[in-house]
């Protein structure tokens, strides 16, 4: 999953794609911020990663599966969900389609 996310970040960030990883730790050592920082560096993750130790974001999205990708449009609406690994071509096509949409009007 991370190589695909990294690739999409590199390919589409200049067009407006913002990737935010949500780290909801499974083990106590994963809850340590320094360990998370080391993992981000060692995995060469170029996009933002939020630490979600209490699972607030995980629960807000009613997420039950890892990994899950949510694509949110320019108006803040969830428009695409991919549960589990795979469907990379479909996810990239959804990214391209959402980026091609006009900017949200206030």
Q: Tens digit of pLDDT for each residue in 57-103?
A: 999 999 998 899 999 999 999 999 999 999 999 999 999 999 999 88
**What is the predicted pLDDT for the residue at 5?**
96
pLDDT score recorded for residue 106: 62
Is 105 within a domain? no
What is the rounded distance in angstroms from the CA atom of residue 15 to the CA atom of residue 1? Answer: 21
pTM of the predicted model over 0.85: yes
- How many domains does the structure of the chain reveal? 1
pLDDT of residue 103: 83
How would you classify residue 23: left for phi > 0, otherwise alpha for psi between -120 and 50, otherwise beta? beta
| Residue 106, domain member (yes or no) | no
Q: How far is CA 48 from CA 13, 51, 54, 86, 90, in A?
A: 12, 10, 18, 22, 23
Task: Sort residue 104 into left (φ over 0), alpha (ψ -120 to 50) or beta.
Answer: beta
Closest by Cα among 101, 48, 50, 92 to 73: 101
Residue 48: domain span: 2-100
């Amino acid at each position: 999953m991370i190589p695909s996310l990294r690739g999409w970040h590199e390919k589409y960030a200049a067009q407006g794609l913002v990737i935010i990883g949500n780290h909801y730790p499974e083990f106590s050592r994963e809850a340590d911020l320094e360990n998370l920082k080391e993992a981000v560096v060692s995995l060469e993750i170029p996009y933002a990663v939020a630490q979600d130790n209490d699972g607030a974001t995980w629960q807000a999205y009613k997420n039950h599966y890892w990994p899950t990708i949510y694509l949110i449009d320019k108006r803040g609406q969830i428009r695409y969900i991919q549960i589990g690994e795979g469907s990379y071509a479909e996810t990239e096509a959804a990214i391209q389609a959402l980026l091609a949409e006009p900017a949200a009007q206030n």
